[in-house]
Structure 1
Amino acid sequence: MDEVLTMASVEASSSSSSSAAVVKGGAVLPTNFPLLSAFLAFAVAQFLKVFTTWYKEKRWDSKRLIASGGMPSSHSATVTALAMSIGLQDGTRASSFALAVVLAAIVMYDASGIRLHAGRQAEILNQIVCEYPPEHPLSNVRPLREPLGHTPFQVGAGAVLGCVVSFLLRSSA
């Protein structure tokens, strides 16, 4: 009943299944290239936002590590890395690739359209509320979050970043 895995059987099963990494001592760690690409692209995009904010505004803002909006779009980087890695792994004819491309298109359209305009509306509403006299019931309302969406350039930069991360991760494997 107890099954013993040899290194040859691990290598044979990992090459026939999706993927697995053999680490020191022969332990097998499951890997998922598309998922790793997406998470890495997201992390790199969020990290880069700190530097792009510094370049544009000449100030360090560590809140950019977890904030939405800004350059590059981490949403775009995530979904394009996912689509690119699925395309590299399964081919562009796979249903999973089609699904990922449609998902990426929707997310990027939303980021540069609806969310961008919602952020601009929040900015205007915050300015209006600031002009209320102190006795007005809405004068003490917490301000709305303004950086919600992305410009088309920020979305494009995120998409390029996602493709590059996915390609480099695939090349290093």
Structure 2
Amino acid sequence: MDFINGLIRNDVFLACFLAWFIAQLIKVILTFFFENKFDASRFVGSGGMPSSHSSFVTSLATAVGLKRGYDSPEFALALVFALIVMYDAAGVRMAVGKQAKILNSIIDDFQHHKKHPITEKRLKELIGHTPIEVLAGAILGIIVAQILI
């Protein structure tokens, strides 16, 4: 119970959680607005605008900087962590999404010609982020932390 109580009172964690929540909510709203459909899976899914990973980790770095100082080792640790996560979101995970798209196309082509039936499920293509999605998530995270801390 102390863990839960401590977490609820931890303003740094709450800033991170709220930044993630808002980013995921924006994804649902944008999907509804641009695709005219309500897709609740966008609330927990990865990829898309804005990057909730980026908002989560930049709110952490910003909150730690505000609480401990931007010259503290804790801020340096949070910043390095944030940079790695954002690089991964825009680099590695984006490449994985592109590969999934190509593989799905190959699977569709095989299925269409019925030469080699493939029973595997389609791969998830929306995994990573464009640099703009990462930047938007980062800005959201900074703003949320600045407001809450």
Q: Which residue of 1 aligns with 2:134?
A: 155
Tell me, what secondary structure is at the counterpart of 2:121?
coil
- Among 21, 46, 54, the residue aligned to 2:24: 46
- Among 116, 122, 135, the residue aligned to 1:143: 122
Residue identity opposite 2:82 in structure 1: A
When normalised by structure 1's length, the TM-score is: 0.77
Alpha-carbon displacement from aligned partner over 1:4-47 (angstroms, at most 9, x marks no partner): xxxxxxxxxxxxxxxxxxxxxxxxx5422221111111111111
Cα distance in 1 for partners of 2:11, 2:71 equals: 18
Q: Which residue of 1 aligns with 2:57?
A: 79
Tell me, what secondary structure is at the counterpart of 1:43?
helix
Cα distance in 2 for partners of 1:63, 1:99 equals: 32
Q: Does 1:60 align with 2:60?
A: no
Q: Does 1:117 align with 2:95?
A: yes
Mark the runs of 5 or more structure 2 residues left unpaired by the alignment.
Answer: none
Deviation at 1:58, TM superposition (A): 2.8
When normalised by structure 2's length, the TM-score is: 0.89
Q: Which residue of 2 aligns with 1:88?
A: 66
Q: Which has the larger radius of gyration?
A: 1
Instruction: Give the % identical residues.
Output: 47
Mark the runs of 5 or more structure 1 residues left unpaired by the alignment.
Answer: 1-28
Deviation at 1:134, TM superposition (A): 3.3
Structure 1 vs Structure 2 CA RMSD: 1.2
Q: How many residues align?
A: 141
Structure with a larger share of its residues in helix: 2
